[in-house]
Amino acid sequence: MIIGLVFVWQSGTARADLSFDGQNRFIMSGQRMIVTLVNEGKTAALAEVSLNWGEPESGQSQPLPLAVSKPLLRIPGGQKANVEVFYQGKGLPTDRESYLLLSVLDVPPATKTPHSMTVALRHRFKLLYRPPLKSTLDEAMAGLSWEMQKEAAGRLIADNPSPHYLTLSEIEAIGPNDQPCGQPIEHLMLPPFSTQPVDLPTCQPTRLRYQIVSDAGNPRPYGATLSADKKSHGSAQH
């Protein structure tokens, strides 16, 4: 995710020279992790790196038990730089994943042109801390189930009984005529050991098509045939 922040009024341009060595999410399984920043531009880039809780609305107020080695760093044009993320070894659950946000602000150089605007781009990445768990992400994907709610037409309950976060995209309901019903739900994130209602058009869907994002950030296609009498598990589609 990239968010532009406007600092000064009038017209101007934004620079987007920072990339992240092909990563669009990060999985941390120990007490140290390296994040590589790449400056693809010709001039030096100034990057501000920070970490935050991934779900601030949940009321999480305790101090973050992680830190970055270089909160502010200068990267020469055409070069790479590494930032280490450290976990102090306690403060996060040991029976499930924890969701954090890694934020990198690409600070633009000061403009010398009068009445111009400079725009800083903020990159935000999901960072999942994964303690040693008995189940794998593949098993969590297969364990996701869907249940039709009889008292609310067009509502399903997504059930993630695993210790993993599951990120779904392009959730599409298919009706009795084997045609899509309405617009797909573009994004849904299910925390560990959670259920969540999913509202779909009232077209009496008979099955679902959806994608689950892998550790590498790639979407994997899944499908599930819905039943009015029991929970339905999805299966990988090829």
All CATH 2.60.40.10 domain ranges in the chain, comma separated? 2-129, 137-236
CATH of domain 2-129: 2.60.40.10
Summarize pLDDT for 25-69 with one digit per residue, the tens: 999 999 999 999 999 999 999 999 999 999 865 556 688 999 999
pTM confidence score: 0.87
State the Cα angle at 159 between 154 and 161, rounded to 5°. Answer: 175
Summarize pLDDT for 158-174 with one digit per residue, the tens: 999 999 999 999 999 99
CB 70 within 8 A of CB 24: no
CATH architecture of 137-236: Sandwich (2.60)
